[in-house]
Structure 1
Amino acid sequence: MFLGLASTAGLAMPGLGEAKVAGACATSPVWRRGAEGERLADLGNGRFLNPVLSGDRPDPNILKDGADYWATFSSFDYFPAVVIWHSRDLVNWRPVGPALTVPLGSVWALDIAKHDGRYFIYIPVFNPTDPSFSAGPAIPCKIFVVHADRMEGPWSDPVDMDIKGYIDPGHAADEDGKRYLFLNGGARVRISDDGLRRDGPIEQVYEGWPIPEDWIIEGLALEGPKILRRDGWFYLFSGQGGTAGPPTSHMVIVARSRSINGPWENCPHNPIVRTVSAGEPWWSRGHGTAVQAPAGDWWLAYHGYENGYRTLGRQMLLEPFVWDADGWPRMTGGDLSAPLPMPAARRAVGPGLALSGPFKPDDMGSRLAFFAPGVDYLDRVAFKDGTLTLKAQGKGPAESSPLAFITGDRSYEMIVDVELEGGAQAGLLLFYNARYFVGLGSDADALHSYKVGQEQSYPPPGPAVGSRFSLRVVNDDNVASFFIRGAGKAWRKIISYEVSSYNHNLADGFLSLRPALFVSGNGQARFSNLLYRGRDGPRA
């Protein structure tokens, strides 16, 4: 084993300029910086600047439980899945760990609930390859549930609730404590008193809000229902318009009823959240969960794409709202380009998520996750003395089920030391999915560069550097450059790629472009000395 190739001296980032992005805002706000150069929402002066959780945090769902706030997000094809985050001020968050390790399929928008002192997470899983998930022409999806006595776990094995063809569950209880899941498309189903299975037919209960025909949207897409009970009303917060597509697609709408059985009356100023112009800093804002802050004021957590940075995925945004004289919510945060007052004084719950530092077992499901792994995926990794050993899989990166990181910076650098064993190829990628990635790999005999999921022969990547080397990627405003160096050698730049198109609108799948480690072929590779630094320069 060799150490020290990826030293802090390698973290200089020459050439990281202030590039303009077409359609982006004319000026760029200034975030507070953490120890790794990462942007922090909490500005340290009683204000915060969105996003509160940067990077790929789609479909945010928050449970308020006394002084604690618990959040989780869609995991899609990454496992361990359903990573739970903890906060006490709605701005500063830390990961607690995953609630789901079994790779059932793609995990979509879910819901955390607490009922009779017990915690539940309702998990829709999309799996078109398994016939048991099919429900005729409907979405090939099942809803599972896991439960626990504490949000920190341990969580139960997933329970199949016998609900097919629907996504986006939202838990609710009526005046008598009877339990329901609201579903996409305005559907609802009664569930058992223990919260673990379907206990009635699926009903159509809400038709959504009529979107004007001249609005530029992706589709109706009535989804993400969340129920809030307040002052004798049941409020139904939903997303509409499509989660990606044109920047003006997504939105949040509200309806209310005196009874959980309806009828539902639409808010007179729907949508309460929507991107109305491609010039705004956040695109496709939608999928909201209402939550009360420690002082009793109200906030809406939702997601959006950052203007010019769809590659980062949908990020978690937080906006205040008030209840008007007629009992309807009205948003007060504007387009989220400016800092906002903190929901509460800073209440630390420990450090956030560091991307640098030694590899350790609890990285799995917080710092690291496998893309579309097999059932035995956890057997591929081992941790010892800060080093990660990863067994090879497949003939190349596309078949390797890479081990990926979520990053939330517009520009960043990552360096890692690598040692090959056997006939393995190991490398560093910017990975969207198995068909759409860029990066650099090396085996003992040759270097391999990749673009759009394919190995490239031009320009030739040059000679290999042996079985011990360091890899480096510099992503400068969606221009990614890959470097390699052998022991005692200087960095050699191999290739640069423009990667802004590596996003859902071109590649589908609702994912983000993530730094990722891969090992393919035979044998294994050891990774150590991971260093990360984020940086955003102001843009003119």
Structure 2
Amino acid sequence: MWTDGTFANPVIAGFHPDPSVCRVGADYYLACSSFEYFPGVPVFHSRDLVHWAQIGNALDRPGQLDLPASTPSSAGVYAPTLRHHDGRFWLIVTVCADGGGNLLVTATDPAGPWSDPIRLPGVPGIDPDLAWDDDGSAWCTYAGIAQVRLDPETGRTLGPPRRLWSGAPGAQAPEAPHLYRIGEHWYLLIAEGGTERGHAVSIARASAPDGPYQPCPANPILTHRGTNKPIQNTGHADLVEAADGSWWLVLLGVRPGGGTPGWHVLGRETFLAPVTWTDGWPVVGDLAPVMAAPPWPARPVPPPPARDDFDGDRLHPRWISVRSRPADAWSLTDRPGWLTLRARGTSPDAPDVTFVGRRQEHQACRVRTLVDPAAGRGGLAVRLDERHHYDVEVGDGEVRVVARIGSVRSTTATRPAPAGPVRLRVDVLGPAPGDWHPGKEPDLLRLGVEHADGTYDVLAELDGRYLSTEVAGGFTGRVVGMYAAAGTVAFDWFDYEPGNPVAAGS
């Protein structure tokens, strides 16, 4: 938030990787990857590049996105590019699933609805970008780095693809290309080095969109590899010019915590950095956790409400489900004022679990829900994937905490359930300042039951490192939410409060 002329990074916290941004007048729009979650591709709006509000999801209908249960975690929807051209918004993206590939959708309003997908069978690979030449030709550039001319109205490619530039010699994974016409040059921005600690941003330029490209002598123009900076894995960036002529870079990064090697639990988040130009090349400014504010007036976006009472006729776009959300698996009308979930999979281990959650966005937070398990079994889950999650659930007259860590599934605690609806609670506790050792966990999770008088019966305290990318692998971050594992389970409300006065280890 704005504090005395500064803003805090990340500007979009939690699992929001691979940001792509465009400006239309005074308005900025941004889209991110969503991987195995539905709806896909969250879309945000801002007036200042700092305060962002989610306004929709580009792929929010089964006809646009139908991820089968066989889709692995961290597959699904990869790396969108969002652009505005000729009065329309264009979003090109990869879907890594059965029958997937690259596709393109359009909208006149970025909040939706977005069109049915145009398939792009002639565009291989991942991370597609879309840019238009002065004569109206559309160029699609993708990881590799290769490029092909494209008819975006039909999805037909116009000629064979050709290699452009693959970044630094020997650097792995040249990907995330974005192509821009800036002044007299075409600039090709890419990520390289892999999306782990070696991640970096490099750039080249040419006199034509199809090259040949000359690399910047100062490449990489951004990397935090080999440093002790609190933000790591910096890469997969996109440039945007502000209305006042200043330039900015949105990018992904992580905030590892604990001892060594450091564990990031929230996933890859969206950060903002200032850009200046020297000798026709962009120079990326400091990416500190707190930075000087952009030079235009702040127009704050109200934060989302901490509590959802499920009183509306639709779910807010922040709510996501695993792979799909069939109409017969959930309802806001079966029991008005409650979210009703009907079980498919028998636990969060199952790829088709009935789950409705939101991204964990804060390093410390408190999550609560009131659940009625009278006709089934379900509860709260903190999920990284099917093999890495912590659950507190109620059913069959019992409250239990279940930990799934790789091949091990353990019920760590059980208690008789209170009569009637039960308040389940998860506290995520950040590390205490100065309490560090080489094996220090990044955080702790306390799972239990909250009573009507506010007292908290903690059933288990679990190490947070096992719900991190460094342990589980993959590209996502924690999502916390409600699930049904048997029968029908109803949730009266869900409450997410950032921050916690109690530090881990206390």
Which TM-score tier does this pair reach, normalised by the shorter chain? 0.7 to 0.9
- Following the alignment from structure 2 to structure 1, what is the Cα–Cα distance between the partners of residues 227 and 49? 28
- Following the alignment from structure 1 to structure 2, what is the Cα–Cα distance between the partners of residues 386 and 77? 28
| Structure 1 pair 463–164 and aligned structure 2 pair: CA distance change class (3 A) | farther
Deviations 1:281-330 (Å, cap 9, x if unpaired)?
10110011011122211111101001316101111111111110x20111
Question: Which residue type is aligned with residue 305 of structure 2?
Answer: A
Question: Normalising by structure 1, what TM-score?
Answer: 0.82
Query: What is the match of residue 524 of structure 1?
Result: 489
User: Is there any run of 5+ residues in structure 1 with no aligned partner, and where?
Assistant: 1-40, 134-141, 212-218
Query: What is the match of residue 108 of structure 1?
Result: 78
- Following the alignment from structure 2 to structure 1, what is the Cα–Cα distance between the partners of residues 120 and 316? 24
The answer to whether the aligner puts 1:237 opposite 2:207 as a matched pair is no
Shift of 1:166: 0.9
Query: What is the match of residue 77 of structure 1?
Result: 36
Runs (4 or more) in structure 1 with deviation over 6 Å come to 536-539
- Following the alignment from structure 2 to structure 1, what is the Cα–Cα distance between the partners of residues 216 and 30? 26
Query: What is the match of residue 468 of structure 2?
Result: 503
Question: Which residue type is aligned with residue 372 of structure 2?
Answer: E
The answer to whether the aligner puts 1:367 opposite 2:318 as a matched pair is yes
- Following the alignment from structure 2 to structure 1, what is the Cα–Cα distance between the partners of residues 7 and 425? 32
Shift of 1:223: 0.7
Q: Secondary structure at the match of 1:237?
A: strand
The answer to whether the aligner puts 1:123 opposite 2:73 as a matched pair is no
| Structure 1 pair 223–360 and aligned structure 2 pair: CA distance change class (3 A) | farther
Correspondences of 1:11-160 after superposition (within 5 Å)? 41-43=1-3, 45-101=4-60, 102=62, 103-105=65-67, 106-127=76-97, 130=98, 132-133=99-100, 142-160=101-119
| Structure 1 pair 58–377 and aligned structure 2 pair: CA distance change class (3 A) | farther
The answer to whether the aligner puts 1:221 opposite 2:173 as a matched pair is yes
- Following the alignment from structure 1 to structure 2, what is the Cα–Cα distance between the partners of residues 125 and 380? 25
| Structure 1 pair 194–457 and aligned structure 2 pair: CA distance change class (3 A) | closer
Query: What is the match of residue 129 of structure 2?
Result: 170
Residue 8 of structure 2 contacts residue 290 of structure 2 at CA under 8 Å; is this kept in 1? yes
Report the aligned-residue RMSD.
Answer: 2.3
Shift of 1:516: 1.7
| Structure 1 pair 52–490 and aligned structure 2 pair: CA distance change class (3 A) | closer
Correspondences of 1:474-493 after superposition (within 5 Å)? 474-477=427-430, 478-485=443-450, 490-493=455-458
Q: Return 252-261 or 92-101, whichever deviates more.
A: 92-101
Question: Which residue type is aligned with residue 97 of structure 1?
Answer: G
Residue 394 of structure 2 contacts residue 400 of structure 2 at CA under 8 Å; is this kept in 1? yes
Q: Secondary structure at the match of 1:201?
A: coil
Question: Which residue type is aligned with residue 380 of structure 1?
Answer: W
Question: Which residue type is aligned with residue 403 of structure 1?
Answer: V
- Following the alignment from structure 1 to structure 2, what is the Cα–Cα distance between the partners of residues 431 and 330? 38
Q: Return 111-120 or 201-210, whichever deviates more.
A: 201-210
Residue 374 of structure 2 contacts residue 395 of structure 2 at CA under 8 Å; is this kept in 1? no
| Structure 1 pair 411–323 and aligned structure 2 pair: CA distance change class (3 A) | same
- Following the alignment from structure 1 to structure 2, what is the Cα–Cα distance between the partners of residues 398 and 58? 24
- Following the alignment from structure 1 to structure 2, what is the Cα–Cα distance between the partners of residues 161 and 536? 50
The answer to whether the aligner puts 1:452 opposite 2:407 as a matched pair is no
- Following the alignment from structure 2 to structure 1, what is the Cα–Cα distance between the partners of residues 373 and 6? 47
The answer to whether the aligner puts 1:403 opposite 2:356 as a matched pair is yes
Query: What is the match of residue 206 of structure 1?
Result: 165
- Following the alignment from structure 1 to structure 2, what is the Cα–Cα distance between the partners of residues 54 and 509? 18
Query: What is the match of residue 380 of structure 2?
Result: 428
Deviations 1:332-362 (Å, cap 9, x if unpaired)?
22x41442222421124x4233342322558
- Following the alignment from structure 2 to structure 1, what is the Cα–Cα distance between the partners of residues 35 and 235? 18
| Structure 1 pair 416–296 and aligned structure 2 pair: CA distance change class (3 A) | same
User: Alignment identity in percent?
Assistant: 28
- Following the alignment from structure 2 to structure 1, what is the Cα–Cα distance between the partners of residues 11 and 163? 35
Residue 62 of structure 1 contacts residue 291 of structure 1 at CA under 8 Å; is this kept in 2? yes
Q: Return 377-386 or 83-92, whichever deviates more.
A: 377-386
Residue 431 of structure 1 contacts residue 437 of structure 1 at CA under 8 Å; is this kept in 2? yes
Shift of 1:119: 1.4
Residue 307 of structure 2 contacts residue 493 of structure 2 at CA under 8 Å; is this kept in 1? no
- Following the alignment from structure 1 to structure 2, what is the Cα–Cα distance between the partners of residues 122 and 372? 20
Q: Secondary structure at the match of 1:461?
A: strand
Q: Secondary structure at the match of 2:161?
A: strand
| Structure 1 pair 425–347 and aligned structure 2 pair: CA distance change class (3 A) | same
- Following the alignment from structure 2 to structure 1, what is the Cα–Cα distance between the partners of residues 503 and 457? 28
Shift of 1:206: 1.7
Residue 178 of structure 2 contacts residue 189 of structure 2 at CA under 8 Å; is this kept in 1? yes
Q: Secondary structure at the match of 2:371?
A: strand
Question: Normalising by structure 2, what TM-score?
Answer: 0.87
Residue 322 of structure 2 contacts residue 355 of structure 2 at CA under 8 Å; is this kept in 1? yes
The answer to whether the aligner puts 1:272 opposite 2:221 as a matched pair is yes
- Following the alignment from structure 2 to structure 1, what is the Cα–Cα distance between the partners of residues 482 and 297? 38
Deviations 1:38-58 (Å, cap 9, x if unpaired)?
xxx322x22212111111110
Residue 60 of structure 1 contacts residue 302 of structure 1 at CA under 8 Å; is this kept in 2? yes
Residue 129 of structure 2 contacts residue 142 of structure 2 at CA under 8 Å; is this kept in 1? yes
| Structure 1 pair 277–476 and aligned structure 2 pair: CA distance change class (3 A) | same
Query: What is the match of residue 331 of structure 1?
Result: 284
Query: What is the match of residue 465 of structure 1?
Result: 418
- Following the alignment from structure 2 to structure 1, what is the Cα–Cα distance between the partners of residues 500 and 216? 41
Higher RCO by CA contacts (8 Å cutoff, separation 6 or greater):
1
Q: Secondary structure at the match of 2:51?
A: coil
- Following the alignment from structure 2 to structure 1, what is the Cα–Cα distance between the partners of residues 195 and 293? 28
| Structure 1 pair 336–235 and aligned structure 2 pair: CA distance change class (3 A) | same
Q: Secondary structure at the match of 2:238?
A: strand
- Following the alignment from structure 1 to structure 2, what is the Cα–Cα distance between the partners of residues 254 and 362? 46
| Structure 1 pair 116–352 and aligned structure 2 pair: CA distance change class (3 A) | same
Shift of 1:82: 1.3
| Structure 1 pair 361–369 and aligned structure 2 pair: CA distance change class (3 A) | farther
Q: Secondary structure at the match of 1:505?
A: helix
Residue 449 of structure 1 contacts residue 455 of structure 1 at CA under 8 Å; is this kept in 2? no
Shift of 1:97: 0.9
- Following the alignment from structure 1 to structure 2, what is the Cα–Cα distance between the partners of residues 306 and 94? 22
The answer to whether the aligner puts 1:381 opposite 2:331 as a matched pair is yes
Residue 404 of structure 2 contacts residue 410 of structure 2 at CA under 8 Å; is this kept in 1? no
Query: What is the match of residue 321 of structure 1?
Result: 275
- Following the alignment from structure 1 to structure 2, what is the Cα–Cα distance between the partners of residues 172 and 378? 40
Residue 469 of structure 1 contacts residue 487 of structure 1 at CA under 8 Å; is this kept in 2? no
- Following the alignment from structure 2 to structure 1, what is the Cα–Cα distance between the partners of residues 315 and 29? 19
User: Is there any run of 5+ residues in structure 2 with no aligned partner, and where?
Assistant: 68-75, 258-262, 431-442
Shift of 1:373: 2.3
